Every structure is written in C-alpha cells, then in structure tokens.
Chain A
Amino acid sequence: MHIYANPARFLKLARPLTMWLGWSGAALIAFALFAGLFLSPKDYLQGDSVRIMYVHVPAAWLAMGGWTGIAVASLMQLIWRHPLANVAGRALAVPGALFTSICLVTGSLWGRPTWGTYWEWDGRMTSMLVLLFLYIGYIVLADADRERGGEGRITAIFGLIGAINIPIIKYSVEWWNTLHQGQSIGVTGSSIDASMVWPLLISALGFSLLFGAIVLMRMRAMLARQKIEARLRRMAA
C-alpha cells in the first residue's frame, strides 16, 4: 500500500483505471437493468415490483461497503498515517451517501405495494436512515476540518465510531423482529430463484465498478486541488 503513498504513482494508475471502471460499470448496469426489466420473471407474490430489487439491493450493499471503506481508510490514517487515506475517506463519503439515499427511496417505493406502507420505524429501516445521517455528518465534519487546515484526524475517528452501525444494519433483521425480511443471499446460498439472482449479481458488479470510478474521480480532483493550493502558497511566499 505504501507504494501509493506517492500521489504521482497513484495518479498514474488511477487515471486509466477511472475510465475502465466507469465505462465497464455503465455497460454492465445497462445490461443488468435490461435483464432485470425484460428478461427476468416476475415474482409469484410481489409481481413486477420485485424488479426494484435490481437497484435497491446493490445500492444497499454499496452504501454499507462505502462506510466499510471509510473505516479502513480511517484506520490507515490513524495508525500508518497514509497520506492518501484521508483523501480516500472523503472521496468515499459522497457516493456512499448517494447510494444510501437510493436504497432508502427505492425501498420505500417497494414497501408501499408490498407491505402497504412507505415507511415504518423498524430496525433495518431506522439503522439505514442513521447511516445516511452518519454520511452527512462525515461530509460536513471533513469539510470543516479541511477549512481549518486539519489533517482529518477527527474525521477518521468519526469514521471508525460510525462503523459500529454497519454490523447493526446487517444483523438488525436477526436481532430484532423487523418488518424487513431476513437475508436472502448469503455465503452458503440464496433464497432468490436463479432466474432473478443473475441479473442482480451483474447489477451489483456494475454499480460497484461505477462506485469505484466515482471514488477515483473524486480522489483525483482532491489531489489536483491540493496541488493548486500548495502552488498558490509557494507563490504567495
């Protein structure tokens, strides 16, 4: 990891990678959404509203994955003082918040025809809403810390503390009685029929690649900005 402590070396890799991830992600998403809308069957109970799953589930996975990434970046910053860790954490926060919102909105739209309600305060939904607030808090805190000229240590601590919510989201459907159904796809198998699982997995891969591209784009923009600021300071001196 320390090879990439040098931003120039990181950028050399990140530049072409952004393009590859972005375009292959977009292509996979387009194909998965086509498959989800036209090739996969409707559900025996939910009917056509099951198709929301092809966006909702990848969004939920990435929302949680995004904060897991923030936690890892926070650790790397606090312990190894990796120069890119703070940049990575800040770059993850905005797409993470975006995917959390997508997850909440699509879930709500699915809930109305399936459960009969847009929103209920059950364990899964509440902890997911808390995740959105954590993301917003992280973004605001990181911004404030940067304005002040800090190294982002306070943001990293917040990122670590917030990571406690991730297992709570995951196990909320097991620990408590919830309206939200239990886990369908696990390490051992899936209770979703194969004809619906394959578009879901392609969609998840596509959205993950796109997520990666957004993060790299944001990291590059932040590094470019740091460079400009450093140059301006030198000119002022």
Chain B
Amino acid sequence: MKAKHQRLTLLALAIVAVLGAVLLAMSALRDQAAYFYAPADVARKGVPLDRAVRIGGMVKGGSIKRAEDGVTIDFVVRDETPAIIPVRFTGIAPDLFKENSGVVAEGRFLPSGLFVADEILAKHDENYMPPELARDGVKHKTRTLEGGTT
C-alpha cells in the first residue's frame, strides 16, 4: 500500500466516524434545537405550563379579532394537522402578521390552553413574487426555473 493510499483510507475512515457522530448528535438535538413548537407538537406532548415557550404555525383564516382597547389581538394558530392553539397578544404586531401567513409567538400557556404571547414575530415563507401576481391569485405556487409551474 502506497503512503498516499494509506492516508486516503485513514482520512476517509475518520470523516465517516466524525460524520456519524455529528448526525447522531443532531438527531438527538432535534427537539431541543427546534425554534418553536407547532400545534401538532403541543397536542402530542401536552401543554408545557411551567416555562416560557415559543409556538409557531399559520394564522388561521378569519381568526384575528382585535379587542376594543386597540392593542389586544386574539387569533388561532394552526398547522397541517387538526390541532390548533388559541393565542392572545397585547402589543404591536409586525406588518407581516396576517391571516394565512406564518407566525411565531413567545409566551406562556394558561391552564385553560390559551397561549398568552409577550412577543410576536412574522414568519416569512419561501415564496417571492410581485404584487400584481399575488393579486391574480398565483399564491404559493412553485415555479420552475424554466418558467413552467408545478
């Protein structure tokens, strides 16, 4: 075996070992490294009452209700499962906070299941298009680079 091949084999083995270790660590981190819980996660694991958490998902269409005081907003967060989370937030929401678009809220659950948020962030999705197209209802469609739509 030439020295070059020996180095190649050794290095390949080392890379495989390190890669395996990291993948294991990452999959163990899966839950801890999540930036927020989706409604499905909360439904599966129960409501964490003891600490501040972030929840995220889509703002359900028609669910935003603004209270009389002008700063309190009630809305419902959904995901692709039937699970939902009712949220109450008092403060100024970002401009992109809209129905049927992504949201991340930071706060605590009340025992009743209502989530009281101290902070709201709008989550942007991967769709970018000019306003005219959005008005024409091309929303959330993936376009291929060749120009066709899928």
Interface residues of A (CB under 8 A from B): 41-46, 50, 53, 75, 78-80, 113-117, 120-123, 160-161, 164, 168, 175-179, 181-185, 188-197
Contacts and interface: CB of A to CB of B under 8 A. Distances in A.
B110 interface: no
Contacts of B141: 191
Given A122-B35, A193-B143, 10 more contacts: A43-B130, A44-B130, A79-B8, A115-B96, A115-B124, A176-B34, A179-B35, A179-B56, A184-B128, A196-B129
B121 interface: yes
B35 A181 contact: no
15 contacts: A42-B130, A43-B131, A45-B96, A45-B98, A46-B96, A113-B95, A115-B121, A117-B121, A168-B26, A176-B35, A177-B37, A188-B144, A190-B144, A190-B145, A192-B143
Interface in B10-67: 11, 15, 18-19, 22, 26, 30, 33-38, 56
B117 interface: no
B104 interface: yes
A194 B147 contact: yes
B87 interface: no
Contacts of A190: 142-145
A177 B34 contact: yes
Given A115-B94, A123-B33, A164-B22, A181 B123 contact: yes
B125 interface: yes
A196 B33 CA distance: 32
B96 to A, nearest CB: 6
Contacts of B22: 164, 168
B133 A46 contact: no
A117 B139 CA distance: 25
Interface of B: 4, 7-8, 11, 15, 18-19, 22, 26, 30, 33-38, 56, 93-98, 101, 104, 120-135, 141-147, 150
Contacts of B124: 45-46, 114-115, 181
Contacts of B126: 181-184, 191-192
Contacts of B101: 45
A218 B141 CA distance: 44
A181 B124 CA distance: 6
A193 B128 CA distance: 6
B133 A193 contact: yes
Q: Which of B96, B129, B132 has the most CB of A within 10 A?
A: B129
Contact of A193 (B98, B122, B130): B130
Contacts of A182: 125-126
Given A160-B15, A190-B144, A177 B35 contact: yes
Contacts of B97: 116
B134 A75 contact: no
A178 B35 CA distance: 5
Contacts of B122: 114-116
B35 A42 contact: no
